[in-house]
Amino acid sequence: MKDSEVTTLALELADEAARSDIKVCCYETSADGHRWYDLTRTPPDDVEWVERAVRYLDLRKLMIRHPDHPQLVRWERESAVERD
């Protein structure tokens, strides 16, 4: 495996792990025809994981915040696993 393949795979895995942390730990809601996750409705034991996932997705510019409710987040594209 080439270094570029390893890097691409590592980023894909990290992207999916960060989205999964939010998906599992945050309350899901629907608004404006999209699935959103409420960052304020996170169990206390999961706050650290969610904060780290949010920071990562923000840095990678993969997360979208609701224009009127910034505590609601989503991502532009879902992986095949998340669509099921």
pLDDT grade, residue 81 (50/70/90)?
very low
Over the stretch 7-32, which tens digit does the pLDDT of each residue have? 999 999 999 999 999 999 999 999 88
Distance of CA 54 to the CA centre of its chain: 7
Over the stretch 40-50, which tens digit does the pLDDT of each residue have? 999 999 999 99
- Cα distances (angstroms) measured from residue 58 to each of 2, 9, 15, 68, 70: 28, 19, 11, 18, 13
The most distant pair of C-alpha atoms in the chain lies apart, rounded to whole Å, by 44
Domain assignment of residue 53, given as a range: 3-83
Tokens for 47, please give them.
């706050």
Residues 6+ apart with CB under 8 A from 79: 16, 19
Q: How many domains does the chain have?
A: 1
How is residue 77 annotated by DSSP? Answer: S
- Please provide the average confidence, as pLDDT, over all residues in the chain: 90
